[in-house]
Amino acid sequence: AASGGMNKNDFLSIFSSFTCWFVKWVPSRNVCLLAKNSGGCRRPSVVWFHDARTGRCARFLYNGCGGNQNRFRTRERCEEMCVTKS
């Protein structure tokens, strides 16, 4: 804003940026309950998901776009987010 303060649009922009960052980088443990979803596109890569039936992380083929947040680059990250330590 011209007066040096923040206006509503500045606040909304910052809030939207923070919200997107939070959702992208700090997923809720609820993502661990989502079913495996290979997504669309044709750029396959091997990633990890949490299988709520077995309570373990497993590999699957992700097609590069779409899908859901139950998808991790490494087994370690999947286990860190989803596997309950006994």
pLDDT digits (tens, 9 = 90+) for 19-67: 444 444 555 779 999 999 999 999 999 999 999 999 999 999 999 999 9
CA distance 16 to 67: 22
Contact partners, residue 52, CB within 8 Å, separation at least 6 = 32, 33
Question: What pLDDT score was predicted for residue 33?
Answer: 95
The whole-number pLDDT of residue 22 equals 43
The token duo for 25 is: 């980088």
In this predicted structure, what is the pLDDT of residue 78?
A: 97
Alpha-carbon distance 57 to 84, whole Å? Answer: 11
Domain topology for 8-82 = Factor Xa Inhibitor (4.10.410)
pLDDT at 1 over 60: no
